[in-house]
Amino acid sequence: MRDLLTALVRRLHGLVDDETLAHSGRVAYLAAALGEALGLSREMTRTLYLGGLLHDIGKGVVPAEVLHKPGRLLPEERRLVEAHAAAGESMVLQLAPEMAPDIVDVVRHHHERLDGSGYPDRLCAGDISPAVRIIAVADVYDALINDRPYRRALSPEEALGVLDEEVRCGRLDADVVAALRRVTADEDGLSRAADGRGGQCG
């Protein structure tokens, strides 16, 4: 598995831009920390880490001028961005046909939402795996606390407020967001996750 991961990460470097690569690394570490906070198994925590690393690999097919557009996306541009989830699944299966199904599921479904409003398959709560629920929260949180071409970064507390609203609206998992509050309150724990020592991912 380590050799496979090394090969995929090297390929990932060539497929996505530096910002997407950095985001993927942060999501991987945060998702692993959330897995620990939720008391998940070592195997599941490793799945979260690998899924986080690979979740945005499909953004390599999105034109840079669309991916980094500073203003509102046009409908066709949004379709191009949303296509990255299914494209990522195809890329992982092509590069690593033996990849664990749980990780492939994360790559395809990390933008699904519990109320069925996500993409690409409009899954609802009962069809969304625990790993996808965790990656979804880590993905949104990291996007919110970092600058994007179309908006400034939010503070961690502002970002948690956005996530709380997503929970109230039935889109994100309440238990995972509660775990995120615990993880972000534990600065030492979050630092261990960020430098790769958390998540039992060795």
Give the pLDDT score at 202. 31
Q: What are 126-167's pLDDT values in tens digits? A: 999 999 999 999 999 999 999 887 789 999 999 999 999 999
CB 66 within 8 A of CB 80: yes
Give the pLDDT score at 155. 94
Rounded CA gap, 97 and 90, in Å?
Answer: 10
How many CA atoms lie within 13 Å of 98's alpha carbon, on the beta-carbon side?
A: 5
In a domain, 200, yes or no: no
Rounded CA gap, 104 and 47, in Å?
Answer: 10
Report DSSP state, residue 146.
S
The amino acid that residue 117 corresponds to is: S
Residues 6+ apart with CB under 8 A from 32: 45, 46, 48, 49, 52, 193, 198, 199, 200, 201
Rounded CA gap, 142 and 42, in Å?
Answer: 23
In a domain, 116, yes or no: yes
Query: Domain total for the chain?
Result: 1
In a domain, 189, yes or no: yes
Boundaries of domain holding 131? 1-195
In a domain, 89, yes or no: yes
pTM: 0.88
Backbone torsion region of residue 172, taken as left when φ is above 0, otherwise alpha when ψ lies between -120 and 50, otherwise beta: beta
For residue 52, give both structure tokens.
């986080």
In a domain, 202, yes or no: no
Give the pLDDT score at 161. 96
- Indicate which residue of 23, 46, 55, 59 is catalytic: 59
| 59 in catalytic set | yes
Q: Among residues 190, 160, 191, 194, which one has the least CA distance to residue 176?
A: 160
Report the CATH number at residue 60. 1.10.3210.10
pLDDT, block means (10 residues), the chain with 202 residues: 62 74 93 97 95 93 90 94 96 88 97 98 97 98 90 93 97 98 77 43 31
